Amino acid sequence: MEYRTLGLSGLRVSAVGLGCMGMSHAYGAPADKREMTELLADAVEMGYTFFDTAEVYGTPDHPHHNEELLGEALHPYRNNIVIATKFGLRFDMPDAAGPHALIPDARPEIIRHRVEESLRRLCTDHIDLYYQHRIDPSIEPETVAEVMADLIREGKILHWGISETTEEYLRRAHRVCPVTAIQNRFSMMARWHEPLLPVREELGIGFVAHSPLANGLLTNRYTANSTFDPSTDYRASMPQYRPESFEKNRTLFSLLEQLAEEHRATASQISLAWMMNKRPPIVPIPGTRHLFRLKENIGATDIHLTDEEVNAIDTALDNMEISEVFGGSPIKK
Catalytic residues, by residue number, are 57
Q: Coil, helix or strand for 223?
A: coil
CA 285 remoteness from chain centre: 5
Whole-angstrom Cα distance, residue 280 to residue 198? 9
Whole-angstrom Cα distance, residue 182 to residue 170? 8
Residues 6+ apart with CB under 8 A from 196: 165, 167, 170, 182, 184, 207
3-state secondary structure 228-253: CCCCCEHHHHCHHHCHHHHHHCHHHH
Whole-angstrom Cα distance, residue 122 to residue 129? 13
- E strand or H helix that includes residue 143: helix 141-153
Judge contact between 274 and 260, C-beta under 8 A. Answer: no
Whole-angstrom Cα distance, residue 44 to residue 182? 23
- E strand or H helix that includes residue 44: helix 33-46
For residue 129, the number of C-alpha atoms closer than 13 Å in the C-beta half-sphere is 30
Bridge pairing between strands 12-14 and 50-52: unpaired
- E strand or H helix that includes residue 182: strand 181-185
Whole-angstrom Cα distance, residue 172 to residue 157? 20
Whole-angstrom Cα distance, residue 276 to residue 289? 22
User: At CA 14, angle to CA 39 and CA 299, rounded to 5?
Assistant: 70
